Structure 1
């Protein structure tokens, strides 16, 4: 299955490039590949807009067209394609602008599998070798941009055995109430992932220390 997924992704990237649109495997999939892990899914970043993607591939679902995201379907398997964006969600042809709006450096790596070219402008490879989870910009900025990243930080660090950058816990504590801006479905997804970890008790510690857990489950407050 892993080989089939990767072959499909390479075909999508090659097709986009042949049509004149730079395309890359992006985010956690690149991180996992570099760690020798099989990615659960692949995200493809490209300069092609959703309208262009719809015109190129035979089976496409415009699931998040307003946000630049479509799904290309190959043999019932969906592959997410997202148009490069800068801060504010406007489309861009500059990979650097898209990279700088991502959450953590190890998730901000772009790889062109056709040319075997890795783009790393934020020190993601260094942090990957150090097993360090560090924000692309500042912890405050990435959490203000999307508060679910507070939970993602814990989930990613404890699932991969990474050290959390020292700036992250105080930022979570200071901005913990932002979690109420996040939909229950997204919170439930991240919490389910955390609770399924083999080291779940360790993973819950930073959520308790930063008091983020009590914002999510206030019923636990009397147990303190």
Structure 2
């Protein structure tokens, strides 16, 4: 299998706090990986170290065979990142934000087509600040897809979306996967993880406590559901045992 993401022994500390400890990840082309864990478990640090926006204290990472620290411009021509709301200006129109993003890339996708695919065509002239939380989430996904990436990193993909919008976004991501897109996502929604992810990693205090498929997570625990298995790995007990 061709690995498009390869991270080995990534370690990152903030003072005496070890945020990420000996993190390894190998992602094949067209796979969807889920990074799971409580807030502060190390998910964001792992993603930031992989894409090169944060320098690890120790370890190596490669995306599409490139060093994200040394080859940052080349990497971001081929990698999409769904940033959160606080990464963007609030007092800007959707069209202006899309045009600004398009200008950063050599061969961008048509933002109007992407906006249509994610149900935002009628918001082209709206201010970003006027969008609902779910609409902003979809917009940020559109911005991540504008470069026509081979790899995309998604942070809490469907937070703020209603049931129908979540399903629509899931189906769109699965369509992109069928066309070879590789995805790494963080999520707190176990139904989303079960729907999308080929493999998952569960982090606890910066340490990988599980790596494998959803069925393997369940079979490696005394549980019958992923949510309970998640609690088993992160808290040492299943949800059912705690009630």
Greater RCO between the two (CA within 8 Å, min separation 6)?
Answer: 2
TM over 0.5: no
State the TM-score, normalizing by the size of structure 1: 0.31
State the TM-score, normalizing by the size of structure 2: 0.29
